[in-house]
Amino acid sequence: MIRVLGMLLATMCMALPAMAQDYPNRPVKIIVPFASGGPADLYARFLGQRLQDALGQSFVVEDRPGGGSVIGTDAVAKSAPDGYTLLMMSNTHTVNESLIPNKPFQLLRDFAPIAPVNYSDLLLVVHPSVPAKTLKELLDLAKAKPGAMNYASSGPGTPYHMAGELFKAMAGVDIVHVPYKGSSGARTDIVGGQVQMMFDAITTMAQQARAGKVRAIATTGKVRSDVTPEVPTVAEAGVPGYEATIWLGLMAPAGTPKPIIDKLNAAITRIVNQPDVRAAWTQQGAVPMTMSPEEFDRYLRDDIAKWANVVKVARIKVD
C-alpha cells in the first residue's frame, strides 16, 4: 500500500511541471470585479493582450462588477483552480478584509497570489463650480459648511472611497460619501457637476483636468506626480502625512498548481519590465510593480493589516 501511494505521489510530482509546460492550452479568463473604464479594466485588457502574445492563448477580460467587488471576486473563488480563471484585484480587496468581514470568501484563504501589476497616485479634483482653487480653500469651504459638500467614489472599500475617508479623518472635515457602482459613473457625474469632489486614479482623471472639465486640487502620493508636476500633494498643501494610492495585482483560486502560478508570475514580470511598457505607464502615471508570488503574499498581508488599522482608527463603515 505504501509503495502504491509512493508511486502515485511520484506520478503527481512529475505531472505538475508537465501541466505548467502545457499551460495554457485553451483561453484564459481574467475577471475584473469592477465596472468597465477604470484602471483595473484598462490594465487587465493591456495585460491580457501581452500575455496572449507571450503565452500563445487568448486572455479574455470579463467585467463583473457589484457588491464593492464581492460579486466578481466570489465568482473567481468558486472557479476551478486550474489557471483558467484569474482575478484582477486591487487594494479594494485588502481593505474589504476588515471593512466587509462577512464576505463569502477570505482573500488569503481562497486565493493564491500571482503577481502585482502597478500602482498610481490619485488626483483630488473638484467640479469647476466649486469655489476653491487650492486645498486650503477647499478645506476652509468644507469646514465652514459641515456636511454640505460631497465626494464620489466607485463604491465602498475602493481606493477612492478610502482616500476620501482618510482625508476626512486627517483633515478634520465632514464631507458626504456618494458611492457609485463603478468609477465610470462617478467620473461622469463629477464632470457633469452632480457631485463636487472625487479622488480618482491619476491615470484616468489627469486628462479631464487638462481639458478643464474638472479642477485638479492635489495629488495623493509622497511626492508630486510627473504627470501633473504643477499640482501639489495633499501632504504639502495642508494635510501633513497624507498618502493614498491605487495598486493592481493578479490572483488565482487557492489550489492552483504552483508551476502555473510561477509561469504566470514570470510572464507578467517580463511584461512590466519591457522598456515600452514602463515608458507608456510612466507617461500615464502608473509605476510597474514586480514581486515573486511569495513577496506578493507578504505585501498583501501587510496591506490588509495597514487598512484594518485605518478602518478601526477612522471608524470607517460601509455606507
Helix axes 159-171, 293-313, angle to 10 degrees: 40
What is the spatial distance between Cα 39 and Cα 25, in angstroms, rounded to a whole number? 28
In whole angstroms, how far apart are CA 138 and each of 93, 196, 238, 258, 316?
A: 30, 11, 10, 50, 22
Q: What is the mean pLDDT of residues 85-95?
A: 97
Give the pLDDT confidence score for residue 180 in this predicted structure. 92
- The mean pLDDT value for 29-40 works out to 94
Predicted pLDDT at 138: 98
15 has pLDDT over 90:
no
Last-in-domain residue among 237, 262, 286: 237
Q: Is 41 exposed, middle or buried (0-12, 13-18, 19+ CB in 10 A)?
A: buried
In the beta sheet, which residues pair with residue 119? 247, 287
Q: Which residue has the higher pLDDT, 289 or 15?
A: 289
Whether the predicted pLDDT of 34 surpasses 60:
yes
- Report the pLDDT value the prediction gives residue 20, as an integer from 0 to 100: 74
Residue 281's CATH number: 3.40.190.150
What cell numbers appear for 217 in the block?
Answer: 486640487
**Tens-place pLDDT, residues 35-51:** 999 999 999 999 999 99
Task: Classify residue 27 as exposed, middle or buried by CB count within 10 Å of its CB (0-12, 13-18, 19+).
Answer: exposed
Region 158-185: mean pLDDT is: 93
The answer to whether residues 134 and 213 belong to one domain is yes
Query: How would you class 153 by CB atoms within 10 Å of its CB: exposed for 0-12, middle for 13-18, buried for 19 or more?
Result: buried
pLDDT band, residue 9 (cuts 50/70/90): low
Find out whether 83 and 52 touch, Cβ atoms under 8 Å: no
Residues 96 and 130 in one domain: no
pLDDT in tens, 230-286: 999 999 999 999 999 999 999 999 999 999 999 999 999 999 999 999 999 999 999
Q: Give the residue from 237, 266, 287 where a domain finishes.
A: 237
Closest Cα to residue 86, out of 62, 108, 120? 62
69 and 102 together in one domain: yes
- What CATH number is attached to the domain comprising 170? 3.40.190.10
Alpha-carbon span 2 to 132, nearest angstrom: 76
Same domain, 113 and 125: no
How many independent structural domains does the chain possess?
2
Cell 456618494 found at:
178
pLDDT band, residue 14 (cuts 50/70/90): low
113 lies in the same domain as 145 = no
- Is pTM beyond 0.95? Reply is no
Domain boundary among 218, 237, 256: 237
CA-CA distance, 74 to 221, in Å (whole number)?
A: 31
Would you call 313 exposed, middle or buried from its count of C-beta atoms within 10 A (0-12, 13-18, 19+)?
exposed
Counts of helices then strands in the chain (DSSP H, E)? 13, 10
CB atoms within 10 A of CB 279: 10
Alpha-carbon span 5 to 19, nearest angstrom: 21
Q: Is the pLDDT of residue 56 over 70?
A: yes
The average pLDDT across 85-90 equals 98
Q: What is the pLDDT of residues 180-198, one digit of tens each?
A: 988 889 999 999 999 999 9
> DSSP string covering 223-286, please?
S--SSSTTSPBHHHHT-TT---EEEEEEEEETT--HHHHHHHHHHHHHHHTSHHHHHHHHHHTE
Asked if 75 and 111 touch (Cβ cutoff 8 Å), the reply is: no
